[in-house]
Amino acid sequence: MNLPVNSFRQQILESVAGNPVTIITAETGAGKSTQAPQFLLEAGYSAVCTQPRRLAARTVAERVAEEMGENLGQTVGYRTAVDRQDGLDTQLLFCTDGLALVRELMGQNEVDILLMDEVHEWNENVEVLLAWAKQQIDRGENFKLVLMSATLESEKLSEFFDGAPVIDVPGRLYPVEERQPRGKNPEEDVASLVKEGRNVLLFQPGTGEIQDSVNKLQNMELNAEVLPLHGQLDKADQQACFQHFSRPKVVCATNVAQTSVTIDDIDAVVDTGKERRKEVLHGVEGLYLRPISLADAKQRQGRAGRTRAGVYIDWC
């Protein structure tokens, strides 16, 4: 597949070779998450690539290994706090973004490059990891840093890293039509899209809302496979969402499906515009229901245009 980021291969490699830090911004669907790590690997670098979620770390690693014609766990592997598939020959390792895990991997393997994907998902892990990486580079540690995101305040990040170069990769692969909600609830819009023959990704804020949507859609007796997707499912149940079926498919997901993860036959997204976010409120840490940011909405919209022209319905 001729992905937009492929045209920037040489520019990315030259920037990495000549600078301690390189920043890559690319619209959703440009192929940065799967292709940029392969550029580095083909150029002879070893790399640790962080992802914000376990599902993303595993599925991106699986996709890259497949594109390279290898079994996962050989040249390409992954590791999270609860799962791993890598080996002595692994040169490109995908992992979650916890500092303890990354420090261990960078220290053990004498890795050439730390590649942080989806940096716009600004959380405590990302913030701490960026500060640690800058400290290590300022001390003269012998590794390079590549930061990637679909939406990023690149100028501020470049300033933080002493004028690091920014490479902007334009263009989503396929257009996405924005529609206004037409049903009484998101599930009715999902049902309408299924009748058009579309495979639909429905974003909900949590597992309870996902189960409610699954129940509603199943009670409608749609001619579709209806599947949940969230971090608490086991690997086999998650993997079912990536399968192709002889009839339309509906995946009801939390924001685990928002970044890096490509369900390649999805061509419609219905977005409730909400998420459960970890916050401290009145001294109590909890998961609170909050509206998503405009940057997150753009990420979700992009899930519909990865492999074909798509539709996005925004219930924000």
How much is the pLDDT for 108? 65
pLDDT value for 252: 98
Gyration radius (Cα) of the chain, Å: 20
Supply the pTM of this predicted model.
0.81
Residue 1 has what pLDDT?
A: 66
| CA max distance for the chain | 62
Does 224 lie in the same domain as 114? no
pLDDT number for residue 278:
79
pLDDT of residue 106: 80
- What integer pLDDT is reported at residue 123 of this predicted model? 78
Co-location of 199 and 74 in the same domain: no
Which SS3 state, helix, strand or coil, does residue 184 take?
coil
Residue 253 CA neighbour count, 13 Å, CB half: 29
Range of the domain at 42: 4-169
Q: Which of 114, 142, 169 is the last residue of a domain?
A: 169
- Supply the pLDDT for residue 144: 94
* Pick from 159, 125, 111: nearest CA to 54: 125
What's the CATH code of the domain at 236?
A: 3.40.50.300
Q: What's the number of domains the chain is made of? A: 2
User: What amino acid occupies position 33?
Assistant: S
Q: Which two tokens stand for residue 315?
A: 């219930």
Mean pLDDT by 10 residues, the chain (316 residues): 90 97 89 95 96 91 96 96 92 88 75 91 85 90 89 85 93 86 97 97 96 97 96 90 96 89 92 89 84 88 87 94
Residue ending a domain, among 169, 202, 218, is 169
